[in-house]
Structure 1
Amino acid sequence: MISKEEGEFLVKLARKSIETYLKEGKVINVPDDVNPILKEEMGAFVTLNLDGDLRGCIGYPEPVKPLAQAVIEVAISAATRDPRFPSVTPSELDNIRVEVSVLSKPELVEVQNPAEYLEKIEVGKDGLIVEMGIYRGLLLPQVPIEWKWDIEEFLANTCMKAGLSPDCWLQKEVKIYSFQSQIFEE
């Protein structure tokens, strides 16, 4: 995983990406002198909060891009392309708190019986991806802590995020992946 200093760098990079895009319409480049670990492909999410409320959250669950590049892209997307919210305005920037989550590679949680998920998933440690056919939903590890959910509520809400019924996790054809994340915030 990455160090606290690298995490702080990513948070500043995310903010600079958003500010530059909103004020100048430009996408910044990854700095040439970036630490080599930040050039490794990793999953990343950027979450924006305004006065304690969610204002945008977009990410790459899979390690598909170099981390620093991924953070630039998802920061801009969180500010301008989250379908749940209008685009962030420059006047909001001073009141927005930026959070960057660096994700481990998602791994299939293997069970013989869906009831085993209750023992195999740890609230506060694991993030979840629920997948069934074309439906897919993801919740970061910090979400059930913020909402004070137990494991069943976490599973149900991840199912609903995928556009499925809250108890879909009990169906054999559903795949559940877990991942961990390091969270850095302003």
Structure 2
Amino acid sequence: MLSEEDGKFLLKLARKAIETYLNEGKILEVPSDTPETVKKLQGAFVTLSEHGNLRGCIGYCEPFKPLVNTIIEVAISAATSDPRFNSVEKSELPDIDLEISVLTKPQLVEVKTSSEYLEKIEVGKDGLIIEKDFYKGILLPQVPVEWKWNAEEFLCNTCIKAGLAPDCWHDTKTKIFSFQAQIFYEK
């Protein structure tokens, strides 16, 4: 678990990374005062919202880079490379709010029958990754809470996010992973 101070550091870092990239076209270097706690390998997502509406969300589920590097990369990507949105303009920055989700390593949810998923997935605690063939969909733990989904709706919507049929979670070829997130809000 990261401290609130670590969270504040990461939020300031993410904002500075976006500002530096939009203003100077440069990728921010890792600051010399970076706490050791955020140098560990961890997955993370940065979510941007503007006036309460999603404006970008990009991240890495797997912990293959130091968290500090991941935050710099995905903050810039959320602002400039989310295919659902145009790039954030400099003039929008004052209206953009940041949220960082620092993830645990995803774990395969093992079941004998698909109905067991409904008991094993905890809405509000778990995030989901659904994989089948070359398709993959990810929803963070806060998403089903925001939409007031139950476990079945969460599974179905993660299937849809993967580009699959909503009931693909019943297919034995579908793999479902869960993870948890520590979430830090800018405002």
Q: TM-score, normalised by structure 2?
A: 0.98
Partner in structure 2 of residue 78 of structure 1 = 78
Counterpart code for 2:124: G
Deviations 1:25-84 (A, max 9, x none): 011111122111211100000000001000000000000110000000000000000000
Give the aligned length. Answer: 186
Partner in structure 2 of residue 128 of structure 1 = 128
Partner in structure 1 of residue 114 of structure 2 = 114
Structure 2 distance, partners of 1:54, 1:155, is 21
Counterpart code for 1:6: D
Matches within 5 A, 1:20-169: 20-169=20-169
Structure 1 distance, partners of 2:75, 2:63, is 16
- The answer to whether the aligner puts 1:170 opposite 2:170 as a matched pair is yes
Counterpart code for 2:14: A
Counterpart code for 2:121: I
SS of the aligned residue for 2:57 comes to strand
Q: TM-score, normalised by structure 1?
A: 0.99
Partner in structure 2 of residue 6 of structure 1 = 6
Per-residue deviation at 1:173? 0.7
Structure 1 distance, partners of 2:37, 2:64, is 15
Deviations 1:128-184 (A, max 9, x none): 000001100000000000111111110000000000000000111100000000000
Structure 2 distance, partners of 1:136, 1:162, is 5
- Identity, % of aligned pairs? 66
Runs of 4+ in 1 over 3 A off after TM superposition: none
Counterpart code for 1:10: L
- Which consecutive residues of structure 1, in runs of 5 or more, have no partner in the other structure? none
Deviations 1:65-123 (A, max 9, x none): 10000000000000000000000000000001011110000000000101000000000
SS of the aligned residue for 2:55 comes to strand
Larger deviation, residues 29-38 vs 62-71: 29-38
SS of the aligned residue for 1:166 comes to coil
Counterpart code for 1:31: P
